[in-house]
Chains A and B, each alone.
Chain A
Amino acid sequence: MKFYKDHYDVIVIGGALAGLSSALMLADKGKDVLVLERHNLPGGIASSFVRGGIEIEAALHEMMSIGEKDNRLKVGKFFDDMGVDIEWLKVPEAYHASLPGLEVTLHPGLETFSKEIDAVVPGTYEKVLGLLNLCNTVFDSVNELSIHPMSKAQMLLKHEAFVKTAGYTTKEVIDSFDLPKAAQDLLAPYWIYVGSGFSDLPFTIYSVLMADYVGYGSYIPRKFSHEMSLKMAERAEAMGVQIEYRQHVDKILVKDGKAYGVRTARGDEIFADYVISSSYPNKVYTSMIEPPSAVPAKAIKMVNGRRLSLTAFSVIMILDDTAENLGIKDYSVFRGDTMDTDALYRDLAGLGPYRYLTCICHNLGNDTATPQGTCSYSITTLPRVDGWKTVKAEDYDKVKHKVAKQMIDDMSAYLGVNLLDHILEIVIETPMTINRYTNAWNGCIYGYAHTMDDHIIARLQTAEAESFIKHLEFSGAHAISGDGMGPAVTNGRKAAKNVLDSMAAEEAANQ
């Protein structure tokens, strides 16, 4: 029985957001694409599941880079351009910050956000807006430069703020604004979405984060992130992409330094001109390349020289009463007993108690999220993989329940309601859960940490030299743009663009 064509232009390993974005873009350019996904549905952690008849979001809190219908940002525009028609709901607030001495709800819009901070920390409006405007200028430059690269001299002329902040940490730039501590604290909660403490987080990344989320707000699909993933997959199939689920790719076949196909766990050998891998470089270079001798020592040094970023631990509950009756007022709450991101980052290497929690009540952003009379409530921390790597199988259940209980107790105290008395369904997602369903290396969802020695600008500078195996591209959180569902789409598009550029270059050379 023949399940595959003799040859494809491109094989994409992994049918999550990055892989599907690659597939969409390649299919749009008429390429023959095969997507192999090991789970039985698309999306990776951009998914949902059903418990007790209720559909539950698996991961997505808020999607960046979407924008209003008539003023789309890059990811929203990409979906529109590809004909992926998602029902986006705008999240009502940026966040509610629950920090020592501060209980503040902030809304999107650079000016609105600055005014709301000023209302709590008077006299900071100009400076906060100045910082956010700087973020926005850097953000615009990043977006433009990603499409139109230019010389360094030109860049300094046209993208001064981008160039001049590139070598600094978030802390260094924020410090230069001389803001009171409370204002600094209110500008920090989104840090967890990029996952490094401010004394190691490139300001470039902070800029993109703040300009995008605060400037344009965030969005969720009405039918959970599965709506987004499924619509991408359906659209890709309609454009001729072959997607095969439950196909685990074991090996990437390489000859003369060039990828030419894959072998699946079933034993199918499938051939293509190019392979795009959503599997981490760590996995690919240590156990997937066949023959292993095709992996240069430099590739190993590269993966060993990078630090894995964050994984996730989430307690997801369906509660037996409405948000209103339970006193849940905000769609998203960031709660911390400090806003010292460096200290929080250090703590994330352990197994709790975690001091910085992200809580989402979907019903307050999506009126059809759960059946009437119920609501969904999730409490999430994004630990580093380090602590979880020490958990033994026999202790796993105990550790998982202990951490979950601490998080539930903490938020119960905050809400003044014992959440334990209201649980209809509960699911505890751990790094192990993520690894189980997505095979992500060490259960890591964030790829490599955004740090000063793994800066996005440096990644772009050295990308070409790090293409160790020809015709093999990487797309996923571990690619240049790093973590997040918006960046996953960008990473997928970048991998596809690299393939298209390479195809064009080789075609030109052959003529």
Chain B
Amino acid sequence: MKIKGFLKDVTGASRVTKARLSAFENASAVPEKNDPIADVVAQWHPKKFDVKIVDIRDASPTAKTVRFVRADGQKLPFFYAGQFVVLDFKIGNSIISRPYSLSSAPFEARMENSFAEITVRRSKGDGFIADYVNTELKVGDTLQAMMGCGQFYYEPLRDAKHVVALAGGVGITPFASMAKEIANGTLDFDLTILYGSVASDDIILKDELDALKSDKVHVVHVLSGDEPDWKGERGFLSAELIKKYSAPDTSYFICGPQAMYLYLREELKKLGAPARRVRFEVFGQAKDITKFSGYPVALTNHVFNLTVRRGIHEDVIPAKATESLVVALERAGIRIETACRSGECGFCRTKVLSGSVYVCPENDGRRAADKDFGYVHACAAYPTSDLTIKIPIE
């Protein structure tokens, strides 16, 4: 065979080897450490960093807005309005993480005096950290933070130009962020917020929201409680009410308590909104896991032995049947990384080596192959026997 000529054909290998060596010979000997791609990533998704609380103020009689800045004086990262921050609270021996939707706007994180805010409502007995934020957290405290997380944000390639936000309680926060960003001219869609509260006293961020009203941002308060002087909308966020504020092509964004999710799923079905136009924020940790279908209620009061393997190290800790593996680990002071705490993000991906768990069906965001090999997202998995798990070393 012949390509160009015998001699040229058979000397190819030495030719290309010489070419390579001479390319190296002619190259610079100065180390090039720069990775500009990684630099952009560091501004959008930095590793965890410390934040300092600089202000705490009332957002309603029952909620507080907490403002924080980066402790090292740098600007906070870029994020999308609607995303959340994960804050790590050191309480006693434990480090407990919580995701909070940012109620401040992305542009505020990138200003000269960069800051971000979360708004947290005092709980009615079940929100250990919510109460901590409302009563113990002080200006000057330092926490670890990771942001921006989550998928609950406006995607212009997917979502309609008209968005109806359906908010309940503290679920108003991502919409407050969107509304501020729209008002700033850095986000472009028409936002109508239907905000359901029980009583006018419960309305969180009322003054801030009302100040943002414009031809692009509409805020409609809806009260379900019996308040004789109330002049606005009343009742629940029913299909009928939603329809009244919808344009022919509307995306629905929903954030609020779990009961509201269950209710709105049905209401939105009645409206006939196509699946691509309906976006729920994550469900959150199940309030009462025993209420979910298939949960082995007979085990409700059991406490199991949970063997936790990290590297070649093992600990044995107690794990209540009604608490997620993440909660058991946090109670025992064993660090596990979490973000959404709704089974979606997979940060707490954990291998179950032996024993059994119940996975909350609302929060089963696992990959198919992971299911086959006994992986769970520990925030959505509940022990149903003694078990052994392997988690990353933190």
Whole-angstrom CA separation of A245 from B309 in the bound complex: 13
* Per-residue contact bits, chain B 294-333, to A (CB 8 Å; 1 contact, 0 not): 0000000000000000111100000000000000000000
Whole-angstrom CA separation of A324 from B32 in the bound complex: 50
* Interface pick from B116-124, B125-133, B363-371: B363-371
Whole-angstrom CA separation of A228 from B364 in the bound complex: 21
Q: Which residues of B contact A152 (CB under 8 A)?
A: 13
Q: Is B151 in contact with A164, judged by CB distance below 8 angstroms?
A: no
Q: Which of B1-35 contact A (CB under 8 A)?
A: 1-4, 8-13, 15-17, 19-33, 35
Q: Is A242 in contact with B311, judged by CB distance below 8 angstroms?
A: yes
* Per-residue contact bits, chain B 36-52, to A (CB 8 Å; 1 contact, 0 not): 11111101110000000
* Per-residue contact bits, chain A 249-280, to B (CB 8 Å; 1 contact, 0 not): 00000000000000000101000000000000
Whole-angstrom CA separation of A234 from B313 in the bound complex: 19
Q: Is A224 in contact with B33, judged by CB distance below 8 angstroms?
A: no
Partner of B29, one of A40, A304, A405: A304
Whole-angstrom CA separation of A438 from B21 in the bound complex: 30
Interface centre among A202, A227, A305 (most CB of B within 10 A): A305
Q: Which residues of A contact B20 (CB under 8 A)?
A: 453-455, 458-459, 462
Q: Which residues of B contact A397 (CB under 8 A)?
A: 78
Interface centre among B15, B151, B337 (most CB of A within 10 A): B15
Q: Is A223 in contact with B368, judged by CB distance below 8 angstroms?
A: yes
Give the nearest-CB partner of A304 in chain B.
Answer: B27
* Interface pick from B64-72, B96-104, B153-161, B226-234: B153-161
Number of A-B contacts (CB under 8 A): 227
Q: Is B158 in contact with A455, judged by CB distance below 8 angstroms?
A: no
Q: Is B372 in contact with A223, judged by CB distance below 8 angstroms?
A: yes
Whole-angstrom CA separation of A300 from B24 in the bound complex: 9
Q: Which residues of A contact B29 (CB under 8 A)?
A: 297, 300-301, 304
Q: Which of A214-246 contact B (CB under 8 A)?
A: 223-224, 226-227, 230-231, 234, 242, 244-246
Whole-angstrom CA separation of A468 from B84 in the bound complex: 46
Give the nearest-CB partner of B353 in chain A.
Answer: A237
Q: Which residues of B contact A346 (CB under 8 A)?
A: none
Whole-angstrom CA separation of A424 from B366 in the bound complex: 19
What is the distance, in angstroms, from B110's C-beta to the closest C-beta of chain A?
Answer: 7
Q: Is A226 in contact with B13, judged by CB distance below 8 angstroms?
A: no
Q: Which of A401-458 contact B (CB under 8 A)?
A: 401, 404-405, 408, 420, 422-426, 431-432, 435-436, 439, 441-443, 452-455, 457-458
Q: Which residues of A contact B110 (CB under 8 A)?
A: 394
Partner of A2, one of B11, B19, B312: B312
Q: Is A116 positioned at the interface, with any CB of B under 8 Å from its CB?
A: no
Q: Is B17 in contact with A431, judged by CB distance below 8 angstroms?
A: no
Q: Is B221 positioned at the interface, with any CB of A under 8 Å from its CB?
A: no
Q: Is B31 in contact with A230, judged by CB distance below 8 angstroms?
A: no
Q: Is A391 in contact with B3, judged by CB distance below 8 angstroms?
A: no
Q: Which of B155-207 contact A (CB under 8 A)?
A: 155-158
Give the nearest-CB partner of B77 in chain A.
Answer: A393
* Interface pick from A20-28, A46-54, A118-126, A181-189: A46-54
Give the nearest-CB partner of B156 in chain A.
Answer: A401
Q: Which residues of A contact B311 (CB under 8 A)?
A: 2-4, 242, 244
Q: Is A436 in contact with B45, judged by CB distance below 8 angstroms?
A: yes
Q: Is A3 in contact with B393, judged by CB distance below 8 angstroms?
A: yes
Q: Which residues of B contact A394 (CB under 8 A)?
A: 78, 110
Whole-angstrom CA separation of A300 from B33 in the bound complex: 11
Partner of B25, one of A53, A301, A426: A301
Whole-angstrom CA separation of A163 from B1 in the bound complex: 11
Q: Is A247 in contact with B23, judged by CB distance below 8 angstroms?
A: no
- Those 4 A-B pairs whose CB atoms lie nearest each other, nearest first: A167-B12, A3-B311, A305-B27, A166-B12
- By a beta-carbon cutoff of 8 Å, the part of chain A in contact with chain B is 1-5, 40-41, 48-53, 55, 152, 156, 160-161, 163-168, 172-173, 176, 202, 223-224, 226-227, 230-231, 234, 242, 244-247, 266, 268, 282-283, 285-287, 295, 297-298, 300-306, 311, 320, 385, 388-394, 396-397, 401, 404-405, 408, 420, 422-426, 431-432, 435-436, 439, 441-443, 452-455, 457-459, 461-462
A selection of 17 A-B contacts at a CB cut-off of 8 Å is A152-B13, A163-B9, A226-B369, A231-B369, A246-B394, A268-B393, A286-B33, A295-B31, A300-B31, A301-B24, A305-B27, A311-B37, A401-B156, A420-B158, A423-B157, A423-B276, A435-B35
Question: Beyond A287-B33, A401-B156: 10 further Cβ-contacts under 8 Å?
Answer: A3-B393, A164-B2, A167-B12, A244-B392, A388-B37, A404-B157, A426-B157, A443-B37, A458-B19, A462-B21
- By a beta-carbon cutoff of 8 Å, the part of chain B in contact with chain A is 1-4, 8-13, 15-17, 19-33, 35-41, 43-45, 78, 110, 151, 155-158, 274-276, 310-313, 337, 344, 346-347, 349, 365-370, 372-373, 392-394
